């Protein structure tokens, strides 16, 4: 079994591209550098004047999650420069036990044809 950890936040649409790059450089990079991380996937969606970001990471254990998130693993990890993008972060994340590590943002019908993003683990 693995543990998925999903975070959500929004930024004003004009900062979507910049924040997407920043998210890769911070949350994705940092989570993937922790021993026990087995994957990281990002999904973004524009809605109205905002761009939504979802980051789903997969972990082998709670101790690995704590190495990333600290002693309060249900609290969102944020970074000092988040503010400059106008980020509105959900304060808590969702954890779920899962049997397999897959990109949760791909529709099952297209899963076989999809390729992992740069944030996905190497095959």
Could you tell me the residue range of the domain that residue 90 belongs to? 2-111
Q: Is 121 inside a domain boundary? A: no
What's this model's pTM, rounded to 2 decimal places? 0.83
Q: Is 118 inside a domain boundary? A: no
pLDDT range class, residue 106, cuts 50, 70, 90:
confident
pLDDT in tens, 4-40: 999 999 999 999 999 999 999 999 999 999 999 999 9
pLDDT in tens, 80-96: 999 999 999 999 999 99
Q: What is the pLDDT of residue 122?
A: 37
pLDDT range class, residue 117, cuts 50, 70, 90:
very low
Asked if residue 64 has pLDDT above 60, the reply is: yes
- The tokens 């709670």 sit on which residue? 62
Q: Is 120 inside a domain boundary? A: no
- Rounded to whole angstroms, the Cα distance separating 94 from 100 reads 17
Q: What is the pLDDT of residue 47?
A: 96
Q: Is 117 inside a domain boundary? A: no
Mean of pLDDT values over 54-64: 97
Q: Is 96 inside a domain boundary? A: yes
Q: What is the pLDDT of residue 110?
A: 52
What is the dihedral angle through the alpha carbons of 95, 99, 105, 106, rounded to the nearest 10 degrees? -170
Number of compact structural domains in the chain = 1
Q: Is 123 inside a domain boundary? A: no
Distances in Å between the Cα of 102 and the Cα atoms of 13, 17, 32, 42, 73 are 28, 24, 15, 12, 22
Query: CATH no. for residue 18?
Result: 3.30.70.100
Q: Is 48 inside a domain boundary? A: yes
pLDDT range class, residue 107, cuts 50, 70, 90:
low
Q: Is 50 inside a domain boundary? A: yes
């Amino acid at each position: 079994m693995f543990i998925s950890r999903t975070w959500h936040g929004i930024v004003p649409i004009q900062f979507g591209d910049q924040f997407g790059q920043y998210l890769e450089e911070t949350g994705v990079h940092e989570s993937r550098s922790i021993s026990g991380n087995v994957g990281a996937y990002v999904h973004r969606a524009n809605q109205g004047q905002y761009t939504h970001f979802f980051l789903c990471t997969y972990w082998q254990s709670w101790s690995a999650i704590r190495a990333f998130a600290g002693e309060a693993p249900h609290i969102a990890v944020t970074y000092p420069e988040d503010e400059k993008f106008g980020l509105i972060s959900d304060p808590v994340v969702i954890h779920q036990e899962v049997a397999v590590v897959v990109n949760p943002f791909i529709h099952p019908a297209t899963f076989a044809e999809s390729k992992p993003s740069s944030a996905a683990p190497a095959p």
